[in-house]
Structure 1
């Protein structure tokens, strides 16, 4: 047995042993506590898009309405209705979020003009210095996905004033539930999901899930093969101690993926217009991603209104790839002028994250307040290597790619023997934090908090010494005023920072980038609390961004700290149940960006998103729905003259994407769902984040059969 296989089996064995030993221990405790009343909470599937709770912004146990920031929750119901099977699809439907899919297997996410670099699973932060996600995270194992927009320094430490994405894993249920789904769609898309949960005893439960998907693509030669395993355990060890353990293994193999994308203009400056299926990937290229995660949580009640919670996570991500990059500017008449570059890229990172905090209620001045405090440490290390033929000389000259529209992906398989570069970097983030909600009157609550964050980096990355220590104190202030039980107003101010390892003209490290975010808004719960509405105005600023000093040496580039992006705008969100038969999620976001013309150009200023499902009252079991996303025009200046005037500009007109769905419940246990995506077969460029780009998927179909016990 190979070492990686043994490692995976060992972790699964440890997980199983832990769950069984906990069950055995709790059974002994149960003999002594037979007279203690136990309450079981059962999960349920519903067609309502409203969710009241979210734990991404604070650890005070507040509802969304009580939290002075914009929070959106994509529910399991919405993901199921519209087959939002990966994180990209979910965030495309999330208010105020832009998905910059630059390649088939690498994506950036943005909010309020800034990259999203803060991701969580079950509230556990996953610190990272880049916002890109390699591969695509499957959503079959998540119960919901929470997005807190704006800076969120209390919960995430280092990061941008953009948003925090928290993926909430499915929990075991104490009622036996089994569901399965099989679907088939365009481009030979085959997907199977199995999800089962049951109680081991009155106070112990397990959940297992398995997902398998294999599909071709609208893109020439591109294929995917995904496999996801999930195991969760929850057990009441004593009447005051709760243990949760989660194990995740996601594997995605991609054949002929894009590394880079299509050229967007010809040598004469006019725009290219390839077929939507055109790809620059070689027929031998691949990009395989594996993610393995273990989460352990112990919650201990210590008083009637206080508990301590300890969380630990171990996360490993691996990539292995052989890639092919096409570069150059083609001639419009001859379709020549493109060349190829091959590379082998390997990557591995490991995270060990520990979080310990206490939260509860405090009586002061005859009023009840909320208090939370804790410490967090995240150790991260990553190694990467990139091997390519730097000179592209014999025996591996750069292959010429002519007539890209008809190219079949044939390119010489390279023997790479030069240009080996890479990195070996370790990061450690440590923070201590405290937050409180002070109940000043029955209607007015003031929130305050502070986080002390230290970030340490050591190692070499592509020849650059990354050794640097950064420390920052991050404040948080917020206020919520309840006009009545249904309507409240709020205001908040918070900050973040991003460590930098660039050096200035004197050889000293630049100070961290600091971010500031303020927000005011209204929140309302109407229609017997079935409908949730948020109106928000935000203003975010970033200063100290590293900018290269002109004409500095390429081998020793020096930088200066400059003003970064300033953004402000409005967001409106409505989600919930409008009638007994009609559920909806609607949002509008508008953002104005200053300080970076490039970002301003490729970021849509206005976005509109709408999802609706309607249960037909005259035909029991029949439901129709639509999911519509619209954004206005974007552009990217590709070539400028000596006076900085734009010579070549790529433009993407405003466009909208419409998805339709229909579900019919044949029996109480069996249903069938039809999804049609991009009904109008709109042709659009996925992103102008880079100088290259490729087209989104045209119209596609999928039909699934769903069964539940």
Structure 2
């Protein structure tokens, strides 16, 4: 089915749902039931803040809306434990947690309502339809399955409530920013409710010739079959048009070499288009007061189609290295398609034996992921052949003339069908040994299979692996407001691709130790978490020294550090969200960078990981003329970071400030204003090489109005 046809069908579905909502609004207006059902999260269990031996940071929809943020990456900037990584020219969300990230050639993984949902190519995630975003720190693969040792991101979507309401929001701002968002909630009967959320956004960029456009729909239905049985269904659909943009060049660390507005690609390539549609169906059954059974199925499909022109980083081809003005470019085409199927059953509950209370969590899941990849590239000839600027597909960086030359014919670099199957069984038992002491034990057994059909090398490969990942934890509650904890867990996931002999790579493995302290202050309105962690990761994909052009799973890295998170209510109606992290993330084994083929030495810093970072959001609520109002301040500090492996090229540190305010005109109308990067600070968020440096956005002003009825 083409994206256009799918868009039309989903648009008709949305119109039908909206019409039904309005049609039923009057019929159910007499329903007095107003209820927000908290969705039970899979793999998590039910534990209070002080009783969970792990660090978790949560950003709710209210905080996200106050800050005027519309993208997942921008929300994660508010967690000092999360660092931006290579987003492939802005095509997806890419981040590291506690210094670790996965395969940099694919988007970072994340969970949606407990489902693996970040593996496809759906473009940067919009926050529309999101109730909260959780940063689950530490390795979660011992329960979730595949994952990184630094942690996981879990997105919780908005669910229906049994109270009809509609909210329309309009936002306009700098650089032709325009956004329309609608949130419609309705009840069909005493036991059935629906919620439809849609958005449309367009804007110009501070980058020359760049424009973006995105729209999407999320729908949720809830059916309370009985007092003990609840069904929920979630629909996700989005399409985006995102120009591929590698940023600027900063030779020898000269970040003033080019204006941050300078675009070095080719506008005629057009935008990269991404699309996603997904479905989740969950059933929760309360067996009794202490036991719950949940089951779920999910399907998600994504597509990415892209043409791009960007700087060639090879010294053999890059003319800029010799004349300082002529940039050799490569022309690339990507056509990526993914499908994912997930099935999960989970049993959770409490019981007592031999005087000990057990909180048990046990389940089984099945995950299939299909990745169809077609990647083609046209590269310039070596400079030793004295090629012309036309053959180099070159552009003058000081006086760019777009469309001056035509790229050469693209040849297939990767045409590959990859399929992964994973069946897992997991269990976790948290035992209350005494009123103060709790012990957590658990683990996961995975049976994994992978097939690779490499059509360029005419190679077919099968891989099968089985592995057990344990986890352990201890928590001691010193008082009603203070607990200490320690935890250990291991992680495990398959690596994509093959080595020079056509064999599969050894799986990526990790382990992590964490100790921490939790405080609940001000009558449980303020939570303080201090943690120390020490993690290691092995079998990272690096270049094969003995076989140039191929890779091997021999890389090793470590990350250790301290984190402080403070969140909650202060006196004078002030809401606080503070995050600080110190990270020492480094290479543990000599290797070669897979993209640049430069030497990496033991002790080198990991790419784009700051040693120190911090974030603060302060909001005060008050009243003006008897109406609710609020105002707030935010800032983010990011330390200098390694910007190119095997070099002394570092991105400079930066501090940015934000302001935001909101005023309720009456019971229906409200207005708000946000200023991002208040002092117009020039900064650089991430890079892969000196030739691909991403500048941060200059000052941006947004004005919004919202009407609710």
Task: Show the 5 A alignment for 1:497-576.
Answer: 497-500=492-495, 509-554=504-549, 557=550, 559=552, 561-562=554-555, 564-576=556-568
Aligned to 1:296: 281
Change (3 A) 1:437 1:12: farther
State the distance in 2 between where 1:212 and 1:15 align.
14
Task: Find the partner of 2:470 among 469, 475, 480.
Answer: 475
State the distance in 2 between where 1:15 and 1:474 align.
43
Aligned to 1:283: 267
State the distance in 2 between where 1:314 and 1:460 align.
23
Gaps of 5+ in 2: 20-31, 103-107, 382-386, 589-601
Aligned to 2:94: 108
Gaps of 5+ in 1: 21-37, 44-51, 641-645
Is residue 72–residue 93 contact of structure 2 (8 Å, CA) maintained in 1?
no
State the distance in 2 between where 1:679 and 1:127 align.
32
State the distance in 2 between where 1:295 and 1:108 align.
24
Task: Find the partner of 1:138 among 126, 131, 134.
Answer: 126
Is residue 228–residue 251 contact of structure 1 (8 Å, CA) maintained in 2?
yes
Q: State yes or no: 1:588 paired with 2:580.
A: yes
Is residue 227–residue 251 contact of structure 1 (8 Å, CA) maintained in 2?
yes
Length, aligned pairs only = 665
Using the TM superposition, name which of 540-549 and 84-93 deviates more: 540-549
Change (3 A) 1:506 1:205: closer
Task: Find the partner of 1:179 among 167, 173, 176.
Answer: 167
State the distance in 1 between where 2:393 and 2:686 align.
27
Deviations 1:504-560 (A, max 9, x none): 899865532321111111112211111111010111112333444424243xx3636
Is residue 491–residue 521 contact of structure 1 (8 Å, CA) maintained in 2?
yes
Q: State yes or no: 1:423 paired with 2:416.
A: yes
Q: What's the offset of the Cα at 1:599?
A: 4.0
Q: What's the offset of the Cα at 1:111?
A: 1.5
Change (3 A) 1:348 1:560: closer
State the distance in 1 between where 2:254 and 2:572 align.
53
Aligned to 1:614: 620
Aligned to 1:490: 485
Using the TM superposition, name which of 668-677 and 308-317 deviates more: 668-677
Q: State yes or no: 1:632 paired with 2:639.
A: yes
Aligned to 2:328: 339
Is residue 164–residue 187 contact of structure 2 (8 Å, CA) maintained in 1?
yes
Change (3 A) 1:153 1:7: same
Q: What's the offset of the Cα at 1:684?
A: 1.7
Q: What's the offset of the Cα at 1:368?
A: 3.3
Q: State yes or no: 1:154 paired with 2:142.
A: yes
Task: Find the partner of 1:451 among 439, 444, 447.
Answer: 444
Aligned to 2:48: 63
Q: State yes or no: 1:240 paired with 2:240.
A: no
Provide the secondary structure at the position in 2 that maps to 1:79: helix
Is residue 420–residue 448 contact of structure 2 (8 Å, CA) maintained in 1?
yes
State the distance in 2 between where 1:153 and 1:64 align.
21
State the distance in 1 between where 2:499 and 2:393 align.
40
Task: Find the partner of 2:75 among 90, 100, 113.
Answer: 90
Aligned to 1:119: 110
Aligned to 1:257: 244
Q: State yes or no: 1:657 paired with 2:650.
A: no
Change (3 A) 1:252 1:383: same
Provide the secondary structure at the position in 2 that maps to 1:694: strand
State the distance in 2 between where 1:64 and 1:239 align.
27
Q: State yes or no: 1:605 paired with 2:591.
A: no
Is residue 263–residue 272 contact of structure 1 (8 Å, CA) maintained in 2?
no
Is residue 261–residue 326 contact of structure 1 (8 Å, CA) maintained in 2?
no
State the distance in 1 between where 2:146 and 2:480 align.
36
State the distance in 1 between where 2:215 and 2:624 align.
40
Deviations 1:366-399 (A, max 9, x none): 4432111111111110112123335679998332
Aligned to 1:368: 357
State the distance in 2 between where 1:532 and 1:149 align.
16
Aligned to 1:353: 342
Change (3 A) 1:188 1:309: same
Is residue 320–residue 328 contact of structure 2 (8 Å, CA) maintained in 1?
no
State the distance in 2 between where 1:141 and 1:121 align.
11
Aligned to 2:370: 381
Change (3 A) 1:3 1:500: closer
Q: State yes or no: 1:41 paired with 2:35.
A: yes
Q: What's the offset of the Cα at 1:321?
A: 1.4
Q: What's the offset of the Cα at 1:308?
A: 1.3
Using the TM superposition, name which of 404-413 and 577-586 deviates more: 404-413
Is residue 393–residue 406 contact of structure 2 (8 Å, CA) maintained in 1?
no
State the distance in 2 between where 1:213 and 1:553 align.
45
Change (3 A) 1:238 1:494: same
Provide the secondary structure at the position in 2 that maps to 1:90: helix
Q: What's the offset of the Cα at 1:455?
A: 2.0
Change (3 A) 1:9 1:481: farther
TM-score scaled by structure 2?
A: 0.87
Is residue 72–residue 147 contact of structure 1 (8 Å, CA) maintained in 2?
yes
Change (3 A) 1:637 1:15: closer
Q: State yes or no: 1:707 paired with 2:694.
A: no
Change (3 A) 1:560 1:270: same
State the distance in 1 between where 2:127 and 2:521 align.
30
Aligned to 2:599: none
Provide the secondary structure at the position in 2 that maps to 1:687: strand
Is residue 247–residue 695 contact of structure 2 (8 Å, CA) maintained in 1?
no
Is residue 200–residue 214 contact of structure 2 (8 Å, CA) maintained in 1?
yes
Q: What's the offset of the Cα at 1:4?
A: 4.9
Provide the secondary structure at the position in 2 that maps to 1:674: strand
Aligned to 1:26: none
State the distance in 2 between where 1:434 and 1:565 align.
29
State the distance in 1 between where 2:121 and 2:254 align.
32
State the distance in 2 between where 1:84 and 1:249 align.
20
Change (3 A) 1:683 1:230: same
Aligned to 2:307: 322
Aligned to 2:394: 400
Provide the secondary structure at the position in 2 that maps to 1:693: strand
Q: What's the offset of the Cα at 1:637?
A: 5.3
State the distance in 1 between where 2:585 and 2:507 align.
21
Provide the secondary structure at the position in 1 that maps to 2:152: strand
Provide the secondary structure at the position in 2 that maps to 1:284: helix
Q: What's the offset of the Cα at 1:667?
A: 1.4
Change (3 A) 1:453 1:533: same
